Amino acid sequence: MAKHNLRIIPLGGSGEIGKNMTVFEYGNEAIVIDCGIMFPANDMYGVDYIIPDFNYLVQRTDLRILALLITHGHEDHIGAVSHFVTAFPNVPIYATRLTAGLISVKLRDSQSKTEVRVFSANDTLNFGPFKVEPFHVCHSIPDCVGFAVDTPHGLIIHTGDYKFDNSPIDGKPTDYQKLASFGARGVRLLMADSTNADRPGWTPSEATIEPALDRAFTQAKGRIMVATFASLVSRVQIVAHLAAKHNRKLFVNGFTMKEYVKLAREKGYLDIPDNLLGDINKLNSYEPHKVVIMVTGSQGEPSAVLSKLATGRQRTMDLQKGDTIILSSHPIPGNEESVYRTINKLIERGADVVYDALDRVHVSGHACQEEMRLMMHLIRPQYMMPVHGELRHLVQHGKLAQESGMPSDRVIVAENGVVIEVDKYTVRTTERIPGGYIFVDGSSVGDIGKAVIRDREILGADGFLIASVNLNKATGAVLAEPQIISRGFVYLRDSDDLMDTIRQTILNSLQATRHNTEKRREMLEESLERTIYSETKRRPMVFAIVNEF
């Protein structure tokens, strides 16, 4: 007999829901699935990344966290692990082999003594009231799993990121058998990836990329560079096949790409014979038509190889006329501008650029609508909770569930931080726990909030101006020329007239007031703001410093 309700809490960043971290609680025992970061939106000024707010877990001192379970090695699922181990050093981390390797790299520089325990998709893991049965899924990094969590209130399926690829490069399709067997046993709740819920049909197999890449290889006269996510190991595998086929040596450029290739080869997820690989430092001793180079920067990241090539800042190699660059990727929403700008610059510098609009050199790693329907038919859950996506995706995934016959009151669409309670009778949303998500900027975690971001927005749009004035305390006379410091407002050297007006405003304002220092300061700021707006129709931040002697 179950004594408690099962509580499921999606935590995580802005934008996507139920993606970065999920807590399963039963009584005073809990397990956590994933611990990832989110990347900031363009208007989150200066924020490096965002981590889930697990302050709730820290404050629940009565709660024993038995394990952190990881579905796969992408940053949005493992990126905040170093923050987690600081808060919960004694909670062991469970991951499949490649994922564990990636986590270990991440924890290498920390003082962490946290154990990273490796499991395989065939294992069964027991944590107090939770029996966890992982199952293999296809995605855009090898060694991905979803989790079936057997609880006192029945079986809960958490798919993780997945697609149904029937011809995966590593030969391991998503585990239809196991999913069907869960369905046969009876599932209370399916929590499923909604990323592509607004895309009809099936996501094409990773194998469908090879012909398009082969075409690009066949047409290329000079060097070939392929940019993709470093973690997209199957893509590197395809490129390695084609390099061998087209008698080219394979080189790897870019820190992350090198790390991933090394780790994936070591762990046996990437089959590249030693003699196919070339040393990037000896690249120039090969003829152009004899080389393929895997590079980073497919999202237009300014510090990655591709952007540096586009702007002539790459140390190891420069762009050559006749280079073919293949972007085997698709811009993540928000990155479109920088990706297309990078492409334009590469073309301007003489490269031939192939990207996914021109040929199928990329496919998504997430299920489309037909796969979502298939997942629901395999699992046949009592309740359905779309996760992994923006609200619009979750709602659309929920509609698909209803079209497949799920009653609308059994579809659970919840925001991050909302508690889903499962008892004998029902699955429902209850309270919302306090907290949200945490900005990381530089070395500081969580000290940047909305107020600072709002100030950055104003400074980023109009800059600031500070006037510093020294007055004679007795007479109120201005001592020496006021000092003006301004950045991001106008180009001072070209703005003599405006600066004269501003200086005159300062003198006028100070003459007009016979108040105390603070009042003088306030009135000075106000008249400066007024003058500046009327002269320029801009609103920089304005400050005055008034010293009286």
Q: β-pairing, 144-151 with 154-158?
A: antiparallel
Nearer to a copy of itself, 101 or 386 (CB): 386
Identify the active-site residue in 366, 388, 393, 397: 366
User: What does the radius of gyration of the chain's CA atoms come to, in whole angstroms?
Assistant: 28
At closest approach, how far in Å is the CB of 459 from a copy of itself?
Answer: 4
Nearer to a copy of itself, 96 or 195 (CB): 195
What residue has token string 């005159």? 504
At closest approach, how far in Å is the CB of 512 from a copy of itself?
Answer: 23
At closest approach, how far in Å is the CB of 410 from a copy of itself?
Answer: 19
Rounded Cα–Cα distance for residues 439 and 457 (Å):
16
Nearer to a copy of itself, 163 or 249 (CB): 163
Nearer to a copy of itself, 186 or 350 (CB): 350
> 473: how many CB neighbours lie within 10 A of its CB?
10
At closest approach, how far in Å is the CB of 85 from a copy of itself?
Answer: 20
At closest approach, how far in Å is the CB of 449 from a copy of itself?
Answer: 6
Identify the active-site residue in 193, 323, 352, 441: 193
At closest approach, how far in Å is the CB of 303 from a copy of itself?
Answer: 14
CB of 195 closer than 8 Å to CB of 388: yes
CB of 305 closer than 8 Å to CB of 297: yes
Q: Which residues contact 273 (CB under 8 A, 6 or more apart)?
A: none
Nearer to a copy of itself, 286 or 464 (CB): 464
Q: Reply yes or no on whether 193 is catalytic.
A: yes
**The tokens of 321 are what?**
């006329």
Which among 381, 432, 436 has a CA at the least distance from the CA of 159? 381
Binding interface with a copy of itself (CB under 8 A): 41-43, 45-46, 198-199, 333-334, 336-337, 340-341, 343-344, 347-348, 353, 355, 357-358, 390-392, 395-396, 441-444, 447-449, 451-452, 455-464, 466, 468, 470, 483, 485, 487-491, 494-495, 535-538, 541, 543, 545, 547, 549
Instruction: Give CA torsion, residues 61, 63, 69, 70, to 10 deg.
Output: -40
* Cross-strand bridge partners of residue 187: 155, 381
Nearer to a copy of itself, 274 or 494 (CB): 494
Q: Which residues contact 229 (CB under 8 A, 6 or more apart)?
A: 140, 235, 298, 329
Q: Tell me which H or E stretch contains 498.
A: helix 496-512
Q: Reply yes or no on whether 356 is catalytic.
A: no
- The residues assigned a catalytic role are 193, 366
